[in-house]
Structure 1
């Protein structure tokens, strides 16, 4: 079942004059500073690659720690492996949380080139195996575990940002500890397209938005035309069904030539039609009687002239 972002489960977040729907926490709200950093991090990856895969996994720990050293050692090793494996820059966004359990856990997102990988299955299984094999704890797969962001395409980027914004909720974050609640690796923007214009359209490219909106409008118009044609066709068929019996009756009522047949096959659906048919039959008999008398009169004249 496809997850839908609605007004009930989201908030509006403004970034670079564009509005985005982000996760709506039940309590305490969003950490806007951390959320802004998430947006910037995604921009950084999109400056390097026109397609970026975002993969999610949750990591639980075996024991509580006042710092993140074990996690940082683990993620550093995994980034090195994944960089070589996919020949891509690899970055991560992570949130440390602790709710009612004794131990803390991590919500982890891995970002890398969408040209090198387009599904999270192998990646998340690899991370799960590595985390558990090192005895750090257990790893859990999540629903909707990956998204592919396309540069400048807000329709593909907004769902990924919504999922990442779950990490920046204030609820379940630990207070008054030395360990950071939000963890990012250092990521510089690409210098290949080092311009403000390029950086400003990494998340929303007006040309792409215009093209998508135009396509959406055309699709709606096409669907509306198709619906109207179908509706008109049904209406015309309905009208024909109502009109056809009357057409048949009119033919029967106005023809000068009657086909003698079984009356059971005559469909006369209105009492007036029976009256008209009766009148026409009387008229038919009357005309032929007059013709018959005229013929008799002519015969009598011819006989009298011969005598």
Structure 2
């Protein structure tokens, strides 16, 4: 598939490039070019960690976008807005008062191609006993994200991270849920440590975050990370 296969990223020789369509027996996406093996390692470790701790893990992938009307701002020059989103989301999960608790585990990537602003991809991993669905995406009858479902909680967290109120009617669905390329359906997965098929699908979805293309490497900031094991 690739005529020229450099082994290292030209902007950071600590990053190893990966070209195969499987990784430790799991399917990965290489349609958009090579992946970064360091990031694949972190992704698989996080998936294994979540499934070793939770009997069943609820997994899904989202994209955090800034509003189109927002100009380039200092918040786009580092990842503090993402840190705020994760902090607000932890608060939202805690206040949900589910019967079972969950830790927020995640994998994230910062990407930017032709836009003046970056965007973020995340895979979220939660205890399935606490959350097992995203709920309705659309805002309520007042154009607010006030519902108790998981999607509305993520929207509130992202709006607050950017400094907006959750009832600001200008912004709709800035949290985009990723779809399965084959089925075209919004993707969520229930992972179990002994279920190879669900893990294979999750690793395939996570590998999208590991692609070298569109990563703003060399700009003095992290472009990929995962929650602490």
Matching of residues 220-299 of structure 1 within 5 Å: none
Alignment coverage as a number of residue pairs: 173
Report what 1:129 is aligned to.
156
Report what 1:11 is aligned to.
21
- Cα distance in 2 between the residues matched to 1:105 and 1:124: 18
Contact 2:81/2:161, CA 8 A, preserved across alignment = no
1:120 matched to 2:170:
no
Higher Cα Rg, which structure:
1
**3-state SS, counterpart of residue 94 of structure 1:** strand
Quick one: structure 1 residues 25 and 181, their matched pair in 2 at CA, closer, same or farther if it must change by over 3 Å?
farther
Higher percent of residues as strand? 2
- Cα distance in 2 between the residues matched to 1:84 and 1:109: 21
**3-state SS, counterpart of residue 120 of structure 1:** coil
Higher percent of residues as helix? 1
- Cα distance in 2 between the residues matched to 1:104 and 1:78: 20
- Cα distance in 1 between the residues matched to 2:192 and 2:228: 22
- Cα distance in 2 between the residues matched to 1:40 and 1:49: 14
- Cα distance in 2 between the residues matched to 1:133 and 1:75: 11
Q: TM-score, normalised by structure 1?
A: 0.52
Q: Please state how far the C-alpha of 1:128 moved relative to its aligned partner.
A: 1.9
Contact 1:13/1:21, CA 8 A, preserved across alignment = yes
Q: Which residue, out of 13, 17, 22, partners 2:28? A: 22
Q: Which residue, out of 164, 184, 201, partners 2:206? A: 164
**3-state SS, counterpart of residue 24 of structure 1:** coil
Report what 1:41 is aligned to.
46
Larger RCO, structures 1/2 (Cα 8 Å, 6+ apart) = 2
Contact 1:54/1:149, CA 8 A, preserved across alignment = yes
Q: Please state how far the C-alpha of 1:59 moved relative to its aligned partner.
A: 0.6
Q: Please state how far the C-alpha of 1:133 moved relative to its aligned partner.
A: 5.0
Q: Please state how far the C-alpha of 1:181 moved relative to its aligned partner.
A: 0.6
- Cα distance in 2 between the residues matched to 1:153 and 1:142: 22
**CA RMSD in angstroms, aligned pairs only:** 2.0
Contact 1:11/1:22, CA 8 A, preserved across alignment = yes
Contact 1:53/1:111, CA 8 A, preserved across alignment = yes
**3-state SS, counterpart of residue 82 of structure 1:** helix
**3-state SS, counterpart of residue 77 of structure 2:** coil
Contact 1:66/1:177, CA 8 A, preserved across alignment = no
Gaps of 5+ in 2: 1-19, 136-148, 164-170, 180-185
- Cα distance in 2 between the residues matched to 1:84 and 1:125: 13
